[in-house]
Structure 1
Amino acid sequence: MNISNSKLNKLGLAVATALSITALPTQAFAAEAADDESEIERITVTSQKRVERLSEIPVAVSVLRSDQIDNTFTAGFEGLQTLVPSVSFRKGTTTRNSAITVRGIGTISFSVAAEPSVSTVVDGVVLGRSGQAFTDLYDLERIEVLRGPQGTLFGKNASAGVVNITTKRPTGETEGMVEATLLQDNEYRLKAKIEGAITDNVNASLVATKSAFDGNIFNVYNNEQVNGYDKEGMRLMVDAEISNKTNMLFIFETMDADDDCCADIEGLPSGRNPASEAAPNSDGIVNGVADLDLDQRRVDHDFESRTIDEHTAFSMQLEHEFGDYTFTSITAYREWENTEFREGDFTSIAGESTEPVFGVPFQLHDIGPQSWDQFSQEFRLTSPVGQPLEWLVGAFFWQKDSERNFTRDASCQNNNGQLASEIGFYLENELGVANPSEQDVADFISQEGITCNANDIVSATAFMRTEFNNWAVFGDGRYHVSEDFRLLFGLRYTDDEVEFMHNRISNDVYGRRGVGVRPASENTNFDGKTTETNTSVKLGAQYDLGDMGMVYATYAQGYKGPGFNVFYNMAEKDTAAIGDEVSDSYELGYKYAMGNLMVNAAIFSTDIEGFQANNFDNSSGVTITRLTNAGDVSTQGFEIDFLWQATDQLSLSGGLASVDAEIDEFFCPDGEACTDRSGLDVPFSPDLKYNLTADYVWEMDDMEVLLNASYIYTDEQFATLPNNNGEFNPAVLLPDYGILNASVALSFNDDAYRVTFIGKNLTDESFFTTYSGDSFRYQVLRDADRHFGVQFRANF
């Protein structure tokens, strides 16, 4: 993707600012650090599975602390990802289809037998699908984003990175908190927490949350707001010191969500109902450029897109000290019920006509409940620090079972005369007519009065089951060659097994074909199984520069397990296993933390083989996407982030990522005719993202005023792979955008009470972050409109 002059100017300004901060003389902060370490120097992370200082770990990791998370005033990860420039979040039509990309690499798939390239970990528990974590985010201690392959410590599905989420552990102080956030358009979030000591050795906390939003899109069909949410949940944590050598942390969590998300709007004319009040203000594709209606906030849907989520999770973490060594056990079980209701024709007049499709609008409505159950067990043994050789070894077991049934009701389809062959199949297989002739078929159609028009609704149901089994052994360590120089190493052996079952049955009495509905002659009864093993390594070196910081260089491998393209309209050609995705990454990093300044920078280059991605398939006459090993891709670039306590009152933080992710070699799917796409951009990988945040504390006699402002910029990006001709559809190019947020908080009585006034997207910048398909469908986030609110918080 070419960067325009204006973008180069923005990039140059951001780089110059970051480099000027990096070049600040260390003497200004050395005196302060000598007397007492600053809060910045004491920032810790657990991204290497032990508590370490952020400034000392040889890994590119971005940390969002509790106060940063709270200051975004967001209910989900789509708001937080703007603070990590190397990360993008694609919101799917349901939480199960939402995905994270890191450095331009991620997997967006509808398949129930495929997994992400970015692993998501919550309190040490690996999740099978990223959407499990992002129903709601509340009461978090921090979010760590590990950028680049993390195969040795985190294993499968970390070929692009890891999002490591840590919730707040209970303290021994008896205290509580209530918080209410009220925003425009009937959006509210309520949270309450109480924690303290149950006994001398047991602390506990209970957090409850409730939130709702009417939505930011108006449905002209029923005069109701959509694209909102209704969520409630709670988390119980018990932290027990069983003995002076043994500690146990138990977590129980439940979350329910009923969201009429994610409504697809017409950002470009669809032609399906141009007279509708929800038709876009757009001229379509003009001279190869999409005239997107970025201000579109209406839909005309007679079937409501909705997702119902029910989460239940248990985990128990035990830590026991054997002398100077620490043994850790994490046992976890999670259940996730996800039901998708999807409007697939995107108009209110579909399926009404007595004329055949595709001359008139067709109906297509989906309902797909799915259940997930996962169990995981991890054991680790960690050596003491301060020894010449510091190491960690462990074993991991993980199992996930998933069941889904998915029903589609759609208009009958006879655009190529399919009805005759389908009725012939019915006569032969259901009525026992041997080799029915064309006349037999015609007579039966006439006798029964069978039609196949838009108002003839047919359906089929697919039953899908998948099972994942994974086990691994791993080790990670560092050897201190000298006081300043360390060698880094890691190794993981992984064994994966994936199996599936797919059974699709026509529900139509005559077995007719519908739009997106396969006829009875194409009923399925598939199953398959695949296994894969992998050995991932990490090698590197780290050198301390004294007061000038630390540098490191690493070579790391990542691995994503095999899978299958198991989806509703799965066909015979989809039954072949999708091979594993492996990555090799080289990284050179620098970290500095002294006094009031922290700077982290990294230059990276990563090659991915067997990249798992969706490809276009037009073989059935209807464009769908098929998950395949699309080819080899690479991503390279540089990142920098900083945190500076400029004065006692003012702190600045920010980050920048310049990423070039492109296709090196493209593999055309079997049976498809397509041109080479090598050298083109990987989807959903903006070349440039940056952010800058300022916090100022104004101390007064009887209160404190806390000011916060942030600016986030995201470059333009392609949302999908190019078409079979190797060309990008102009509709898939999402324009760049920048957002300015601000808040003013009034804190009283040592923060016992706080009132915060919130302003989001103050410049009212309209933008799309997701292209959903069909050359006209897009999704609009809540933050794509200016809105205001207020938050009340009381601590006791």
Structure 2
Amino acid sequence: MRHIKGFMSSGAVLALAVSGQAFGQDQRSSDAMVSTSEADGIEEIVVTAQKREQRLQDVPVAVSALTSDALEDRGIKDVVDVQRAVPALTITQSQNPQNSSINLRGIGTFAFGIGIEPAVSIVVDDVALLQQAQAFNGLGDLERVEVLRGPQGTLFGKNASAGVINIATKAPTSELSAALNSSYTSDDQFRLEGVVSGGPAEWLKVRASAFYNNKEGYIDNLTTGHSLGASETIGGRLRVDVEPTSTLDISLAAAYSRDTSNPTRTWRYAAPDARIFPIGRINPGSLIAPALTGLDVGPDNFQVRQNSEQQLDSRQEIYSARATLDLGFANLSSITSWQSWRFNQQNDDADYTDLPVVAFRTGGIVQNSTTYSREFAEEMRLTSHGSGPITYMLGLYYANGRSNRTFERLALGPGASQWTGATGTKRYSVFGQGTYDLSSSTHVDIGARWNREDIDARYFATAPSSSGCLTSVCNGENSDDQITYKAALRQDLNQDVMVYASYATGYKGQGYDLGTGATQEALDNPVRPEHSKAYEVGLKGTFLNRKLQVNLTGFWTDYVDFQAQSAKVLENGSLEFKLNNVGKLRTRGIEADVAVMPVRGLRIDGSASYTDAKIISFPAAGCYTGQTAAQGCVNGTQNLSGSNLSNAPKFKYAVSGNYETTLPGLPFDGFIQADWVHQSSVQFDLLGNPALRQDGYGILNGSIGIQDGDGGRYRVSLFVNNLFDKSYAASLAVAQGDSVGNTVTQVLPRDAQRYFGVRMSLRTR
């Protein structure tokens, strides 16, 4: 039945619908950077993947670009949704965004904390976010999302060893315009977004946008009668563009967003005799079975029994000023930014039950945490004019960031934890990239970056279960210098077909293991930097009078000193997290993006990836929870060499289509679209626990609607997400406090259930 559904879905999609995978934009958006109308064939998209405006088809980088119309058509409103459209992208979601990971080509972040950087950098309007968890706040008024795969350290810095998600919001328009978008779903989600843009004067343009999103909970807490998984997000952005002279452009922007939510995990499996949080050799721990009464434990379990309900509050502010001066031979640009992020976690039920798992404490084990991150950054660029034979970009970069975190695990006796930590980073960079035209059809791109980083950390623990820094504050500081570089050779076979080969290096900076049990030794010896070397070949071509577009990429990337974190339950019942340099990894594979317009009004997009992401060398890895000697655990370690990386499906593909047609005699046109996304099985545990494996699955989304046929002033659609009601997990884990591996918990996303909805948009001409 599963294969029949997949065949039916792929066939339906090929006859239907959606624009936009790495190629797409239709005629609705007047703000779009396109140079060819759909009537003439597949549009050209202009991207900033190399920090200057270039045609997507001319960039020797594997890039998927989703334009504003593609994002709207697919209902993509946050970073998590982007993985539906980019096969090489997966996101491992936790019930806390600080422990979530964004992965490209199987490589992501497997170590969590304020002292560790992500492997995938998130950049919003040229501002790189300091903490990856900031990316999970809502987004609005987007012009484009670019996903750059593979190391991008030469242009984007040290925390882009696996890639970059580059987000661009919309610029002000000269003409006065306004738009209002809204949606409502059968599971009670309401979203409203509005924008006003225009130029009060020839030298002044302003754009103001705001959005509100309210999603009801979808996981029932049988203990309290409440619904969990709810969220409420509000945000806004103001941008002012000033052109005081013909050679000077200034852009000022301010953005704010706040997200409140109450996510949780549910029980996927628990053995009848499963217990959690054993304390020493006397207390065997609490039997879980009483807390599972009335629950349908399994992959479709959307119910819990918890006496504490987590509350998350995330607030983000980003202010930026960009000035560009035309020097005649080049543009001199300055990008100044300030960002701050406040994150508050309260009442996290660490045992996921309503049991008094610690004697004399009826509330069980509850965790609270607060994080405050902020960063000032300044970037200067000199970008040449002209198209050859030599073009270049030179840059300077400085950033000063700091993060503070407090943490407490409320429990009596062993298992309690309370600490405060702080980390700081100062970065200085000089970078540049140039292109030399060997001939009119042969081009060489060469770039390099020197990066200097000074880091420091402070840590102090006040609870006895912490293993270090109890009587005095522990301090650490270190510095590091690194050089990354890239070279690419491009050959134009004709004006519509290009092939390229590239070699690039990247790295992720050293970091501090700040968490329960941190010691002075950990602060004296930060985890070593992570290095990557990437080889890539590709073809980008447009054929059949721009009715067919094909982009193919082959890649091979080696990683050394990969940073990862493992968890261990100690004999006294407390949890210990340890950060390690894993050893050597390798990811290799093939990616394809295809767009075709077989007849007028019909567009079909397809994308696929084959990824072989493996641990090449990790001979002394920790054992997974409950692993026996027969399963390879010897003296507390195992050899993971040759194992697959976590949440790295070997195969993932998406097929979409969009059919638009006129409706004779009616004042509007019609459209129908569908999206089918499928991925193969994944392992969610870096240490290889077989209980944390999920089978492959596919999701079908679709919509049907009407739109104004003359100018796109309105659009109304009915849509369905997850038509086949396929349940799947965004992550699997052994329950905290389970020392023998008799349990599995899961994060079930909202999209793991079927729901229907309506979208409406109004805009001026």
Could you say which TM-score interval applies, normalised by the shorter chain?
0.7 to 0.9
Q: Who is 2:278 aligned against?
A: none
Deviations 1:497-522 (A, max 9, x none): 2111010113xxxxxx5xxx438995
Is the counterpart of residue 305 in structure 1 residue 298 in structure 2? no
- Assess if the C-alpha contact under 8 Å between 2:87 and 2:653 holds in 1: yes
Residue 601 of structure 2 corresponds to residue 658 of structure 1: no
Mapping 1:273-312, distance limit 5 Å: 273-276=288-291, 281=296, 293-312=298-317
Kept in 2, the 8 Å contact 1:654–1:692? The answer is yes
Instruction: Specify the SS of the correspondent of 1:402.
Output: strand
Secondary structure at 2:300 match in 1: coil
Bigger shift: 222-231 or 458-467? 458-467
CA deviation map 1:481-536 (0-9, x unaligned) = 00111112111101112111010113xxxxxx5xxx43899566321112111111
Is the 8 Å Cα contact of residues 515 and 577 (structure 2) preserved in structure 1?
no
**Cα distance in structure 2, aligned partners of 1:460 and 1:624:** 11
Residue 113 of structure 1 is matched in structure 2 by: 115
- 2:282 is aligned to none
- Separation of aligned partners in 1, 2:568 and 2:98: 22
Distance 1:207 1:479 in 2: 41
Match for residue 355 of structure 2 among 341, 349, 355: 349
Q: Is the 8 Å Cα contact of residues 621 and 638 (structure 2) preserved in structure 1?
A: no
* Deviation (angstroms), 1:353: 4.9
Which residue identity does 2:579 align to in structure 1? L
- CA distance in structure 1 between the aligned counterparts of 2:622 and 2:83, rounded to whole angstroms: 36
Query: What TM-score comes out, normalization by structure 1 length?
Result: 0.84
Separation in structure 1 between the aligned mates of residue 481 and residue 138 of structure 2, nearest angstrom: 34
Task: Compute the TM-score of the two structures, normalised by the length of structure 2.
Answer: 0.87
- In 2, Cα distance between equivalents of 1:37 and 1:297: 47
- Rounded to whole Å, the distance in 2 between the matches of 1:651 and 1:537 is 39
Shift in Å at residue 614 of structure 1? 1.4
1:615·1:630 contact (CA, 8 Å) conserved in 2?
no
Q: Aligned AA for 1:788?
A: F
CA contact (8 A) 1:267 1:280 kept: no
Paired position in structure 2 for 1:287: none
| Pairing 1:598–2:559 present | no
Q: Relative to structure 1, is the Cα distance of residues 354 and 92 closer, same or farther in structure 2, using a 3 angstrom cutoff?
A: closer
- Distance in 2 between residues matched to 1:170 and 1:39, nearest whole Å: 28
Q: 2:560 aligns with which of 609, 612, 622?
A: 609
**Contact 1:311/1:336 (<8 A) preserved:** yes
The alpha carbon displacement at 1:755 in A equals 1.5
Aligned to 1:225: 227
Q: Which amino acid aligns with 2:614?
A: E
Amino acid at match of 1:295: D
Partner of 1:441: none
Q: Which residue of structure 2 lines up, in the alignment, with residue 91 of structure 1? A: 93
| SS of residue in 1 equivalent to 2:404 | strand
CA gap 1:539/1:585 in 2 versus in 1, 3 angstroms? same
Is 1:713 the equivalent of 2:678? yes
Partner of 1:632: 584
1:410 to partner: Cα distance: 1.4
Per-residue deviation, residues 71-110 of structure 1 (Å, max 9, x unmatched): 2224422222121000111222323332211000011333
Map of 1:175-574 to 2, 5 A cutoff? Answer: 175-261=177-263, 263-269=264-270, 271=274, 272-276=287-291, 281=296, 293-341=298-346, 342-351=348-357, 353=359, 363-413=364-414, 459-506=416-463, 517-518=465-466, 525-546=473-494, 549-572=497-520, 574=522
Following TM superposition, by how much is the alpha carbon of 1:364 offset from its aligned partner in structure 2, in angstroms?
A: 1.4
**Structure 1 residue corresponding to 2:734, chosen from 773, 779, 782:** 773
Using the TM superposition, give the Cα deviation of residue 260 of structure 1 relative to its aligned residue in structure 2, in angstroms: 0.7
Q: Could you say which structure has the larger radius of gyration?
A: 1
Q: Distance in 2 between matches of 1:370 and 1:35?
A: 47
Q: Partners in 1 of 2:462 and 2:426 — Cα distance?
A: 28
Unmatched runs of 5 consecutive residues or more in structure 2: 15-34, 275-286, 624-634, 736-742
Q: What is the CA deviation profile of residues 608-627 of structure 1, one whole-angstrom value per residue up to 9, with x for unaligned ones? A: 01101113445555554322
Q: How far does the alpha carbon of each residue in 1:653-704 deviate from its partner, in whole angstroms, 9 at most, with x for none?
A: 1210100000111163799841221000111211111101111102123101
CA distance in 2, matches of 1:340, 1:703: 48
Alignment check: 8 A CA contact 1:583 1:609 kept? yes
Q: Report how far residue 214 of structure 1 moved.
A: 1.4
In structure 1, distance between residues paired with 2:308 and 2:291: 16
Preserved contact between residue 47 and residue 56 of structure 2 (Cα < 8 Å): yes
Cα distance, 1:203–1:523 mapped onto 2, change above 3 Å: same
Structure 2 distance, partners of 1:191, 1:316, is 24
Aligned-pair CA distance for 1:34: 12
Going from structure 1 to structure 2, the CA distance change for 1:36 and 1:679 (only over 3 Å counts) comes to: closer
What's the counterpart of residue 643 of structure 2? Answer: 680
Given the superposition, is the C-alpha separation of residues 568 and 72 from structure 1 closer, same or farther in structure 2, using an over 3 Å criterion?
farther
- 1:537 to partner: Cα distance: 1.2
Contact 2:295-2:301 within 8 A present in 1 as well: yes
| Alpha-carbon separation, structure 2, partners of 1:58 and 1:528 | 41
Mapped to 2, the partners of 1:625 and 1:35 lie a distance apart of 54
| Residues 338 and 278 of structure 1: CA distance in aligned 2, closer, same or farther (over 3 Å) | farther
Name the % identity.
28
Q: Deviations over 1:741-781 (max 9, x none)?
A: 00112113633222211100001111112124324111001
Q: Which amino acid aligns with 1:777?
A: T
1:689-768 matched pairs, under 5 angstroms: 689-700=652-663, 701-722=666-687, 728-748=688-708, 750=710, 751-768=712-729
CA distance in 1, matches of 2:367, 2:611: 37
Equivalent position SS for 1:242: strand
CA contact (8 A) 2:561 2:583 kept: yes
Residues 37, 43 of structure 2: 8 Å contact kept? no
What does residue range 83-162 of structure 1 map to in structure 2 within 5 Å?
Answer: 83-162=85-164
* Residue range with higher mean Cα deviation, 158-167 or 70-79: 70-79
Cα distance in 2 between the residues matched to 1:763 and 1:670: 39
CA contact (8 A) 1:366 1:406 kept: yes
Give CA-to-partner distance per residue, 1:607-649, whole Å, 9 cap, x none. Answer: 0011011134455555543221111100000000122233221
Distance 1:216 1:537 in 2: 47
Change (3 A) 1:606 1:527: same
Which stretch of the first structure deviates more once superposed, 90-99 or 382-391? 90-99
Q: Distance in 2 between matches of 1:81 and 1:716?
A: 16
C-alpha spacing 1:37/1:678, structure 2 compared with 1 (3 Å): same
Q: In 1, distance between residues paired with 2:258 and 2:184?
A: 20
SS at match of 1:67: helix
Displacement, 1:462? 0.7
Read off the aligned partner of 2:480 and give its amino acid letter: E
CA contact (8 A) 1:55 1:598 kept: no
Of the three residues 641, 645, 652, the one matched with 2:597 is 645
Give the CA deviation at 1:195. 0.8
Seen in structure 2, the aligned counterparts of structure 1 residues 36 and 698 have a Cα distance that, compared at 3 Å, is: closer
Contact kept? 2:497, 2:539, Cα under 8 Å: yes
Tell which deviates more after alignment, 541-550 or 150-159: 541-550
Contact 2:180 2:763 in 1 (8 A): yes
Q: Distance in 2 between matches of 1:352 and 1:604?
A: 51
CA positional deviation for 1:557: 0.4
Deviates more, 1:52-61 or 1:662-671: 662-671
State the match for 1:577 in structure 2: 526
- 2:538 counterpart of 1:589: yes
Could you say which residue in structure 2 is the equivalent of 1:29? none
Aligned partners of 2:344 and 2:583: how far apart in 1? 32
Q: Deviations over 1:38-87 (max 9, x none)?
A: 46342110000110000111111111111111122244222221210001
Query: Quick one: distance in 1 between partners of 2:622 and 2:761?
Result: 58
CA RMSD of aligned residues (A): 2.6
Structure 2 counterpart of 1:417? none
For 1:675 and 1:688, how far apart are their aligned partners in 2? 27
Deviation at 1:175, TM superposition (A): 1.3
In 1, the alpha carbon distance for the partners of 2:84 and 2:472 equals 43
Distance 1:218 1:34 in 2: 50
Structure 1 residue 398: Cα displacement: 1.1
The 1:161–1:521 alpha-carbon spacing in structure 2 relative to 1, beyond 3 Å, is closer
